[in-house]
Amino acid sequence: MDKWKSPHSGKTVTDRRGFFKQLFVDTLCLVEECKGWPQMRLSDLDQAPEAVMRSMIPVFNPDRPYVIEGNRILLKKGKNGEYEKIWEMDGIDGDIFHYFGGSMTIDEISRKIETRYNLDSHTAYDRVRARFLFLAKRRVCFPAHPHDSNEP
């Protein structure tokens, strides 16, 4: 088997097991799109409307190994077990990251950060959104529930 690029995830698969796993995921996405549930890649999440983004609940990906070491987030790189730094957090980032976990929306987290650090609402939201998108593009976090891009 040569290489196969998934039309949904954009991921290139080079082995048979990966091919069938990705084919299954793509098939599920196609079925959901046929039911009228639009799909979006995590890499395209930044294009979601603000109302949809604010309603998202960030959850951690249990299949993506990361560790927090001091003020750094380290992500496991490849199969060799080595970790690389993907983010160096300050105090605000640490609190934002602490709130990710499946019970609060981006909007609720933003309001907590706004109050705790005396930030204006726009600055707090932009910071929480940016941290979520950064982690989502690295598949460390993703939205807890599917969202309709046509939601108000």
User: According to CATH, what is the number of the domain 41-152?
Assistant: 1.10.10
Average pLDDT over residues 111-117: 96
- Can you give the pLDDT at residue 150? 46
Higher pLDDT, 35 or 62: 62
Residue-wise pLDDT tens digits, 64-79: 888 888 888 888 887 7
CA dist 48 and 39 (Å) reads 11
What does the alpha-carbon distance between residue 30 and residue 28 come to, in Å, rounded to a whole number?
Answer: 5
Domain boundaries, the chain: 1-39, 41-152
Q: What's the distance, CA 71 to chain centroid?
A: 20
For residue 10, give the nearest of 40, 32, 38, 35 by alpha carbon: 40
Say which residues have a Cβ less than 8 Å from residue 116's Cβ, sequence separation at least 6. Answer: 95
Reduced to 3 states, what is the DSSP secondary structure of residue 142? strand
Mean pLDDT of 135-142: 86
Distance CA 117, CA 131 (A): 16
Q: How many residues does the chain have?
A: 152
Q: What residues contact residue 9 under an 8 Å CB cut-off, 6+ apart?
A: 22, 25, 26, 41
| Higher local confidence (pLDDT), 30 or 76 | 76
What angle separates helix 121-137 from helix 106-117, to the nearest 10 degrees? Answer: 130
Q: What is the mean pLDDT of the chain?
A: 78
